[in-house]
Structure 1
């Protein structure tokens, strides 16, 4: 790469002398020289040729002296490394130049061997600064891309650790959350585009902040649907516990958001949440040009099916037995054995409950009725009927009572 050096000096013979002394470097394409007679002309030249790498400037010149030029160069956004030339013994000006940001200085008359050495040293310094800036820009770009998926602190760590650290595609045990909004298609068709954009951005932004608070990873956002991962890219031994806690907080945030929109006359649907854990293929699937950190596999598909199962069950959160069994102090009630689409074996599912609701008498009453249903006890129907009589707004209990009234037995349910 050819370095462009601007000499600023009003001595008439300097240009010819520099070109003669550096003829080998010029011939080999190592350097290219430009010349200006004072600071004003130098600034005009840099404005026309911003690719100038460095400046070698005398101090005493007409119109604008070298010290004033140096100050202007240091005030610019693209600061130019500058070597100052000064008369021998002029320490006052040399000290001023160094205080104003000169990289180095040489005394006149010029020793061209010394000048060549100083230029080489300066160019090495410039290249080092460029490399630092390049790495900083790469880190900033990486951080911007990672911030779409990860909490701010994790994004910083990943960006600082270098490309590919933890991003490679690999099998990992993960917990994954899927969320979706009921009736969102109808909202799209009825709401003005500008209002819908602001509404969805506020919703997705708020949900992402909840995920980041639990140090989860936002793997995908597709319209109103969000996919979240735990235990990826970094290890989180308590990933199931985190996923359940995150699901509760997502549910609470979404319910509050929905209520706030209702006061504005916006019919924003309920958020449904599915949670499952197991092995998944996780990593950056964006190729060389794009960053797309996400996950694939049966574990991911099951979480999506559990999210959809909420519509049939009347619940807002549905988690698999693998999550419920691994989460610390899990509090919830059994939903049943779900035959999910694409699966030949039933999957035991649970509805996680907040502490106050879990400890309420109705939960114990439901568990007793469910145990009877699972055992094939004919007392299950009156047990669920009694529960509905006291808690008519319990959709899951109502579902089981309806199933029993229609002749169904046991806790296995076929979902399409």
Structure 2
């Protein structure tokens, strides 16, 4: 179909299927901003009409491609991205309505703006809207109006593309954020598990490094500390449950703080009993000294608690046993409830030394005493028979710290 424009002159004898001689008006740089990357597909069966639309749009910065049929237009849209389609209505084969319906029926091009070039008839306009056309230009068209409509629809198309890109970017960002949150939650869960038996500092370092190989079964030379309260069983039998809970809460808070301060590994709390070991997972070259210093600080802190307990009529004392030796260490338990445990004779010896200790006594094995320097005052208690231990064990009591650090202090 011929596409006359309001800015061209026509001859009375001009055929309706020919394009009259015309020159398009020059673009106005002041009124129309350049959009030289807007891609326009012109679809018209008449070459002169296609050339006319090229002549109108290209000087204004549009990238124009043309096809002579609806079928060719659909093939072109399957291969290239376009911002706006200018579509003639009357064409052989697929007409403009059928071509528009096919464009709108394809999910890939459903939102592509289509401007239909129609006659002035209302029925043509209604049918164009029914098949999904976004706009229409009535022939003869005004060049400025055509350019403005194409530019407006291209802007909408670009805005929609931007929204789609932003939505995709947001989806990617959300996916990445979900992954990060999942990783952080996993780290927090790991940190929570590790903090059951490690100081917050050590647990944090392990989570940061991502190395949990220490949880696998292994052997290590460790120094083990057992503590409990003298007289607790009798106290728990006569005291109200609330009183027992209150005492344990105070006791656990004090001891737990010191375990983490000395960077010990907390194996377990069980009532008034506590087991801590040193030199695993983090290496501790001065494990015996650190264990004994922690025990002495615990004794001093529990002395303060015991004074308050005594005023309430609770007769409770604090005893400690410390031993050094090899143990098998690693994760034990089941899914959802894992613990970190040390298994070996050294833990039994520490427990038996603790059971043999009187109130305020810190009893240590020979290897622990040998690992102490001159800051510690000790005395020998001689060989002691310990329940569950085959042979008598040379036991030493740590009395405290001395200002003289030249030699290991042995009390008379």
Instruction: Give the structure-2-normalised TM-score.
Output: 0.58
Task: Give the aligned partner of residue 295 of structure 1.
Answer: 342
Q: How far apart, CA to CA, are the structure 2 residues paired with 1:240 and 1:19?
A: 80
- After superposition, what is the alpha-carbon deviation per residue over 1:220-250, rounded to whole angstroms, capped at 9, x for unaligned? 1011100001011111111111011111111
Q: Residues 22, 180 of structure 1: CA spacing in aligned structure 2 closer, same or farther, 3 A cutoff?
A: farther
How far 1:254 sits from its partner (Å)?
Answer: 1.3
Structure 1 pair 208/18, CA: closer, same or farther in 2 (3 Å)? farther
Q: CA deviation at 1:116?
A: 5.2
Larger Rg: 2
Q: Structure 1 residues 113 and 221 mapped into 2: Cα distance closer, same or farther (>3 Å)?
A: same
Aligned equivalents of 1:227 and 1:144: distance in 2? 19
Compare the two structures and name the one with the higher helix fraction. 1
Map 1:69-218 onto structure 2 (within 5 A): 108-109=156-157, 117-162=165-210, 164-218=212-266
Equivalent position of 1:272 in the other structure: 319
Are the aligned partners of 1:169 and 1:285 in contact in 2 as well (CA < 8 Å)? no
Partners of 2:402 and 2:307 in 1: CA distance: 21
Change (3 A) 1:315 1:121: closer
- The offset of 1:111, in angstroms, is 6.9
Which residue of the partner structure matches residue 330 of structure 2? 283
Q: Pick closer, same or farther for the CA change 1:226–1:18 going to 2, 3 Å.
A: farther
Counterpart of 2:400 in structure 1 is 354
Indicate conservation of the 8 Å contact 2:299/2:318, yes or no. Answer: yes
Cα pair 1:339 1:346 within 8 Å, conserved: yes
| Alignment size in residue pairs | 265
CA distance in 2 between partners of 1:18 and 1:216 (Å): 70
**Unpaired stretches in structure 1, ≥5 consecutive residues:** 1-16, 25-87, 90-105, 368-416
Do structure 1's residue 324 and structure 2's residue 369 form an aligned pair? yes
In the alignment, the residues of structure 2 paired with residue 326 and residue 319 of structure 1 have an alpha-carbon distance, to the nearest angstrom, of 11
CA RMSD of aligned residues (A): 3.1
How far has the Cα of 1:128 moved from its partner? Answer: 0.9
Residue 109 of structure 1 aligns to a residue whose secondary structure is helix
Gap regions ≥5 residues in structure 2 = 1-102, 111-150
Distance 2:295 2:248 in 1: 19
Q: Deviations 1:186-212 (Å, cap 9, x if unpaired)? A: 222222222322221111111111111
Is residue 332–residue 358 contact of structure 1 (8 Å, CA) maintained in 2? no
Q: What TM-score do you get using the length of structure 1 for normalisation?
A: 0.58
